[in-house]
Chains A and B, each alone.
Chain A
Amino acid sequence: GEDVEQSLFLSVREGDSSVINCTYTDSSSTYLYWYKQEPGAGLQLLTYIFSNMDMKQDQRLTVLLNKKDKHLSLRIADTQTGDSAIYFCAESIWDYGGSQGNLIFGKGTKLSVKP
Chain B
Amino acid sequence: GAGVSQSPSNKVTEKGKDVELRCDPISGHTALYWYRQRLGQGLEFLIYFQGNSAPDKSGLPSDRFSAERTGESVSTLTIQRTQQEDSAVYLCASSVQGHTDTQYFGPGTRLTVL
Contact of A43 among B48, B53, B54, B105 (CB under 8 A): B105
Chain A interface: which of B12-20, B39-47, B76-84? B39-47
Q: B41 to chain A: which residues have CB within 8 Å? A: 107
Contact of A107 (CB < 8 Å), options: B42, B50, B91: B42
Please name the residue on chain B nearest to A98 by beta carbon: B56
Contact B48 A101 (CB under 8 A): yes
Nearest B residue to A103, CB-CB = B103
Contacts of A7 in B (CB 8 A): none
Tell me the residues in window 66-90 of chain B with beta carbons closer than 8 Å to chain A beta carbons.
none
- Given A42-B107, A99-B50, answer yes or no on A105-B42 (Cβ-Cβ < 8 Å): yes
**Please, which residues of chain B bring their CB within 8 A of the CB of A27?**
none
Interface residues on A, range: 20 to 34
Chain A contacts to B: CB under 8 angstroms: 4, 30-31, 33, 35, 41-45, 48, 88, 90, 92, 94, 98-108
28 contacts between A and B (CB under 8 A): A30-B99, A31-B100, A41-B107, A42-B106, A43-B93, A45-B104, A45-B105, A88-B42, A88-B43, A90-B43, A92-B100, A94-B100, A99-B50, A99-B54, A100-B48, A100-B56, A100-B99, A101-B31, A101-B33, A101-B56, A102-B45, A103-B43, A104-B45, A105-B35, A105-B42, A106-B42, A107-B41, A108-B42
B40 partner residues in chain A, CB cutoff 8 A: 107
Extra inter-chain contacts (8) besides given A42-B105, A99-B53, A103-B103, CB under 8 Å: A30-B100, A99-B56, A102-B48, A102-B59, A103-B43, A105-B35, A105-B42, A108-B42
Residues of B within 8 A of A (CB): 31, 33, 35, 40-45, 48, 50, 53-54, 56, 59, 91, 93, 95, 98-108
A85 → B minimal CB distance (Å)? 14
**Chain A residues with Cβ under 8 A from B42's Cβ?**
4, 88, 105-108
Contact of B102 among A48, A98, A102 (CB under 8 A): A48
